[in-house]
Amino acid sequence: MRAVLVALVVALVSVLRSRVSLHLEVLALRHQLAVLQGGGRRPRLKPGDRLLWVCLSRAWSGWQDVLVFVKPSTVISWQRKRFRDHWTRLSRRGSPGRPPIAKEVRDLIRKMSRANPSWGSPRIRSELLKLGIDLAKSTVEKYRVRPRKPPSPAWRAFLANHVGELVSLDFFTVSTVRFDVLFVLIILAHDRRRVVHFRITEHPTARWTAQQVVEAFPWDTAPRFLLRDRDGIYGADFRGRVKSMGIEEVVIAARSPWQSPYVERMIGSIRRECLDNVVVLSERHLRWILKDYFSHYHRWRCHQSLEMDCPETRPVQPPDRARQERMKATQMATCGV
């Protein structure tokens, strides 16, 4: 019995729904016919026409099948525009934005910030509350005067200020014809871009590296700062020896070779101008090559940072003499290749 009642109710609802859909379809077709009979190649729709179709699209699922004079997407765009217009009207009620701040209050905020440079916005706001002036912290932040602080010195400024008492060291590797790997240590003085010391080894250690620093700066010639990277070769033995010499280590950030630009540029010059043009046979051969290159580097190679001078100041020479020295410098620059 229950199943029979459910079937009768469903049939009645379907009949009523079909009749409602039929009436809505008739309404939609008659409305379109009336609009098209209005004349013109393009129908002119009024706000009431758009509202009717928006309501039909919400109440009737078959509205797209009978729509002729516009596309279904046009009706959907009408509904979206009504939604935007509705919330625009609601948001425009009243005066937009924050309430205006009186000029006396703004001047008071600036006066308090100038008289107390160490006060921040919360402190100024709390003092204003004691005077009966309730403002937001962002408002106080907007109108207070910020004292100009001198910029902190950058890394480049540190290098420029201590260029006369700063040296840097770094390793680079060279492979030989027998596939041996040689480690070359370079110690570079920043003031005139001079290579103070270089050594070659197959097995570098912290103690060996510290001994090279001692040999590079005997007696009281040690610099004030030593710039290096975070390589594990600079162990406890190295740090202890450097500290006993009165040298302060400046360690660059991890994976930041640009913070040690001079020695990195020096290593690049060695590779481009010398080692990329020869085949290294052994450690002795490499030592001979680098010794000749550094002789050329110090006496004849010009540097833009030194105003086109050499690390060892090179005097102005007559054309004939300069031509001979230029030929000699070219031969040494190619390392005999």
Give the residue extent of every domain in the chain: 2-38+46-87, 103-143, 156-333
Spatial separation of the C-alpha atoms in residues 207 and 248, rounded to whole Å: 18
pLDDT of residue 268: 94
Helices marked H in the chain: 2-36, 47-59, 63-66, 72-91, 103-115, 121-130, 137-143, 155-161, 206-216, 236-244, 261-273, 283-299, 319-333
Each residue's pLDDT expressed in tens, for the chain with a length of 337 residues: 555 454 455 455 455 556 667 667 667 767 767 766 666 666 667 777 777 767 777 666 666 666 666 777 777 777 787 778 777 777 776 666 667 888 899 999 999 988 888 888 899 988 888 888 888 888 898 899 887 766 666 667 776 787 889 999 999 999 999 999 999 999 999 999 999 999 999 999 999 999 999 999 988 889 999 999 999 999 999 999 999 999 999 999 988 998 899 999 999 999 999 999 999 999 999 999 999 999 999 998 888 888 888 999 888 766 666 566 666 666 655 544 4
Closest residue by Cα to residue 17 from 61, 72, 57:
61
Q: Please give the pLDDT value at position 227.
A: 93
- For domain 156-333, give its CATH number from 3.40.50.720, 3.90.1150.10, 2.60.40.10, 3.30.420.10: 3.30.420.10
Count of Cβ atoms closer than 10 Å to residue 310 Cβ: 20
263: Cα within 13 Å, side-chain hemisphere: 28
pTM, whole model, 2 decimals? 0.52
The CA distance from 146 to 198, in Å, is 52
Strands 248-251 and 225-228: parallel
What pLDDT does residue 329 have?
A: 60
Token pair of 330 as six digits: 């070219």
Tokens of 124: 């100024």
Q: What is the pLDDT of residue 14?
A: 54
pLDDT of residue 118: 83
| Predicted local confidence at residue 252, as pLDDT | 93
